[in-house]
Chain A
Amino acid sequence: MLQLNQIYKVFNQGTPDEKLALKSLELTLAKGEFVTVIGSNGAGKSTLMNMISGKLTPDAGAVIIDGKDVSPVDENVRSKMIGRVFQDPMAGTAPHMTIEENMAIAYGRTHKRGLRFGVTKSRRSYYKETLETLHLGLENRMNAKVGMLSGGERQALSLLMATFTNPKILLLDEHTAALDPSRAELVTNLTKEIVSQNNLTTLMVTHNMQQALDLGTSLIMMDKGQIIFEARGEEKKKLTVEKLLHEFQRIKGEKMLNDRAVLI
């Protein structure tokens, strides 16, 4: 479903701040695969997400979604195929608009926008049904401004808005990081439910190793713009946090040795 071919991305090229953000990155996701992405700050996780969403374009390489090379396609066109939830609960919704209006905007992702009303009687009941699946009572507050909702509610709504039109790819960018533990758990459970129900091809960035292990069918670890470790299927199920840390140290150590070899 998603294929990244030899992606390179350099920031601030030709300046002292030059940084190789992605280095010959290769990644293939099958339909329905749910990959969790871990890695330290600056490893290139966010760059990877922005590369897929179209916010950034690769210097070299191709992003292929559903067999089609979308590298030259603009973000707003590409997002017809991509649902995205950001880390900041404020980022995924329009605060001064009502819940049903936000739902209408999300609905417009896959339907061409025209001069019809965004919220009609039949659509309102559809939005309501969809909101009911969150079990947060939002379906009774359809006319409330989204800015009045709590962070957890907003993030749950963002998740629903990103997914209820069945995107080909779902990108989750540390979407539980800004929430308190109980709200984070709620959103995590919703994520699990929604992804498996709709069989969504998903890429989730997280800093929480336990969450990376609990969720998803595959796991990748990134460092310095490369994928340094991959575990899929059974192999991933057997992983623990200790093993993961150990693996990280081992690979880093090897790398350091290599670097030293180059220096000597």
Chain B
Amino acid sequence: MPTAIFSSFESGLIYAIMALGVYLTFRILDFPDLTVDGSFVTGAAVTAIMLVNGYSPLISTGAALLAGFAAGSITGLLHTKGKINPLLSGILMMIALYSINLRIMGKSNIPLFSESTIITSVKDFWVKTGLDSFLNKGMEVIGLGNSTPSTWAIIFIMLVISLAIKFALSLFLKTEIGLAIRATGDNQAMVKSFSTNTDNMKVLGLAVSNALVAFSGSLIAQYNGFSDIGMGIGMIVIGLASVIIGEAIFGAKTIARATLAVIGGAIVYRLVVALALQVQFLQTGDVKLITAAIVIGALIIPQLKDKQKEKSMKKKRLKELQIQQTLVKGAKEVATAKSDI
């Protein structure tokens, strides 16, 4: 069980990068971009094939980012220049990417067990620092001595990377171009009247988003030790789940807060799935069903909560009103009684 929690944190932090990409399109650009299911695999595929062919992990991962950027740009062009509905342009790109990903990999699965990846290099470096024994001792001190992970390296490095991306993203959204992207999602006619080429903003937003998604896919492939053609199925829903859960739990008042919430949401999502799979009745294949249930829950529960709140407010008001009325009535009776005298 403790290992399940640790691996939830690890993979949650990697998937958080994908979720940040989804946040950028879904929340900022108001563009439900289904390219994600394809571009996630594109990132994994590009990295896997390059690693197998002997390229360095860093270059292979960078190439994944670029591939995602290109995929997102094409979706953007389909929508802006081709005037295709947002949902449809994403779906078209997703389906096209399935074939492209197969072409990139040459087969449907590439194992990476013997290759040195970013993950293995980080692990190797980590061993040299000797921080593991130090942290494990810390765990022992607080009485969790037997729930230590095999290595702290992944959690640590992924925390650094996803937070770095979070800060970069929220800073970018405060630049002049970033503000224009946000306004494009908020009020397109307005930002057009202030001399912004909204088409360019959408393409750029989609490109950056899918670059993040592909980066996340690349890291997941290196983390799991394989790239598979089917690993992107339902990725958009997982991204949405992370965004929605994060915002529901941690709030979304400012961009800085919302991006942090998305990372939190991605981790919470992984934890919930891991916990759900502990239930005897559920099987690994049920993950997608669990995901759908989580998203539905995250969407409906806040509504029910709001309704409940409203109801109790109404009750309170009614009570106050009744008390006031009886007071007024009482005062009147006293007054008439007095005038009788």
Task: Assess whether B177 is interfacial by the CB under 8 Å rule.
Answer: yes
Check if B179 sits within 8 Å of A105, measured CB to CB.
yes
Assuming the A-B contacts A91-B187, A93-B190, are A79 and B195 also in contact, with contact meaning beta carbons closer than 8 angstroms in the complex?
Answer: yes
Task: Assess whether A68 is interfacial by the CB under 8 Å rule.
Answer: no
Task: Assess whether B99 is interfacial by the CB under 8 Å rule.
Answer: no
In the complex, what residues of B have CB within 8 A of residue A77's CB?
A: 195, 197
Task: Assess whether A9 is interfacial by the CB under 8 Å rule.
Answer: no
Q: With A and B bound together, what is the CA distance between A108 and B183 in angstroms?
A: 12
Check if B175 sits within 8 Å of A97, measured CB to CB.
no
Check if A113 sits within 8 Å of B177, measured CB to CB.
yes
In the complex, what residues of B have CB within 8 A of residue A116's CB?
A: 175-176
For window 71-86 of chain B, which residues contact chain A by CB distance below 8 Å? none
Check if A80 sits within 8 Å of B176, measured CB to CB.
no
Q: With A and B bound together, what is the CA distance between A116 and B171 in angstroms?
A: 10
Assuming the A-B contacts A76-B196, A79-B192, A117-B174, are A104 and B187 also in contact, with contact meaning beta carbons closer than 8 angstroms in the complex?
Answer: no
In the complex, what residues of B have CB within 8 A of residue A75's CB?
A: 192-193
Q: With A and B bound together, what is the CA distance between A91 and B192 in angstroms?
A: 11
Check if B189 sits within 8 Å of A91, measured CB to CB.
yes
Residue of A at shortest CB range from B194? A109
For window 56-109 of chain B, which residues contact chain A by CB distance below 8 Å? none
Check if A94 sits within 8 Å of B190, measured CB to CB.
yes
Assuming the A-B contacts A75-B192, A76-B197, A106-B194, are A94 and B174 also in contact, with contact meaning beta carbons closer than 8 angstroms in the complex?
Answer: no
A65 → B minimal CB distance (Å): 14
Task: Assess whether A250 is interfacial by the CB under 8 Å rule.
Answer: no
Check if B193 sits within 8 Å of A53, measured CB to CB.
yes
Tell me how many residue pairs across A and B have CB atoms closer than 8 Å. Answer: 89
In the complex, what residues of B have CB within 8 A of residue A113's CB?
A: 176-177, 180, 196
Check if B175 sits within 8 Å of A118, measured CB to CB.
yes
Task: Assess whether A14 is interfacial by the CB under 8 Å rule.
Answer: no
Task: Assess whether B273 is interfacial by the CB under 8 Å rule.
Answer: no
For window 167-190 of chain B, which residues contact chain A by CB distance below 8 Å? 172, 174-180, 182-183, 186-187, 189-190
Task: Assess whether B191 is interfacial by the CB under 8 Å rule.
Answer: yes
Q: With A and B bound together, what is the CA distance between A74 and B182 in angstroms?
A: 21
Task: Assess whether B198 is interfacial by the CB under 8 Å rule.
Answer: yes
B193 → A minimal CB distance (Å): 5
In the complex, what residues of A have CB within 8 A of residue B197's CB?
A: 74, 76-77
Q: Is the interface of A mostly helix, strand, loop or mixed?
A: loop
Check if A118 sits within 8 Å of B174, measured CB to CB.
yes
Q: With A and B bound together, what is the CA distance between A233 and B186 in angstroms?
A: 42
How many of B's residues come within 8 Å of A, CB to CB? Answer: 22
A242 → B minimal CB distance (Å): 37
Check if B176 sits within 8 Å of A108, measured CB to CB.
yes
Q: With A and B bound together, what is the CA distance between A104 and B176 in angstroms?
A: 7
How many of A's residues come within 8 Å of B, CB to CB? Answer: 37
What string of 1s and 0s marks CB contacts (under 8 Å) between A50-65 and chain B? 0001000000000000
In the complex, what residues of A have CB within 8 A of residue B193's CB?
A: 53, 75, 79, 82-84, 92, 162
In the complex, what residues of A have CB within 8 A of residue B172's CB?
A: 115
In the complex, what residues of B have CB within 8 A of residue A139's CB?
A: none
Q: With A and B bound together, what is the CA distance between A205 and B48 in angstroms?
A: 61
Assuming the A-B contacts A76-B198, A79-B195, are A118 and B179 also in contact, with contact meaning beta carbons closer than 8 angstroms in the complex?
Answer: yes
Check if B175 sits within 8 Å of A76, measured CB to CB.
no
In the complex, what residues of A have CB within 8 A of residue B189's CB?
A: 86, 91
Assuming the A-B contacts A76-B198, A79-B195, are A115 and B187 also in contact, with contact meaning beta carbons closer than 8 angstroms in the complex?
Answer: no
In the complex, what residues of B have CB within 8 A of residue A80's CB?
A: 195
Q: With A and B bound together, what is the CA distance between A115 and B179 in angstroms?
A: 10
In the complex, what residues of B have CB within 8 A of residue A162's CB?
A: 193
Check if B190 sits within 8 Å of A92, measured CB to CB.
yes
Task: Assess whether A95 is interfacial by the CB under 8 Å rule.
Answer: yes
Check if A94 sits within 8 Å of B175, measured CB to CB.
no
Q: Of the candidates A74, A95, A108, A115, which one forms a contact with B186 in the assembled complex, judged by CB atoms under 8 Å apart?
A: A95
Task: With a 10 A CB-CB cut-off, give which of A53, A96, A106 has the most chain B CB atoms.
Answer: A96
Task: With a 10 A CB-CB cut-off, give which of B187, B189, B190, B193 has the most chain A CB atoms.
Answer: B193
What string of 1s and 0s marks CB contacts (under 8 Å) between B179-219 and chain A? 11011001101111111111000000000000000000000
Check if A76 sits within 8 Å of B183, measured CB to CB.
no
B249 → A minimal CB distance (Å): 20
In the complex, what residues of A have CB within 8 A of residue B175's CB?
A: 114-118
Task: Assess whether A223 is interfacial by the CB under 8 Å rule.
Answer: no
Q: With A and B bound together, what is the CA distance between A111 and B196 in angstroms?
A: 11
Residue of B at shortest CB range from A119? B174
User: 22 pairs across A/B with beta carbons < 8 Å?
Assistant: A53-B193, A75-B192, A75-B193, A76-B196, A77-B195, A77-B197, A79-B192, A80-B195, A91-B190, A94-B182, A95-B187, A96-B186, A101-B179, A101-B182, A108-B194, A108-B195, A109-B195, A114-B176, A118-B175, A118-B176, A119-B174, A162-B193
B residues lining the A interface (CB < 8 Å): 172, 174-180, 182-183, 186-187, 189-198
Kindly list the 9 A-B residue pairs having the minimum CB-CB distance in the complex, ordered from nearest.
Answer: A113-B176, A94-B186, A118-B179, A79-B195, A109-B194, A94-B183, A94-B187, A80-B195, A109-B195
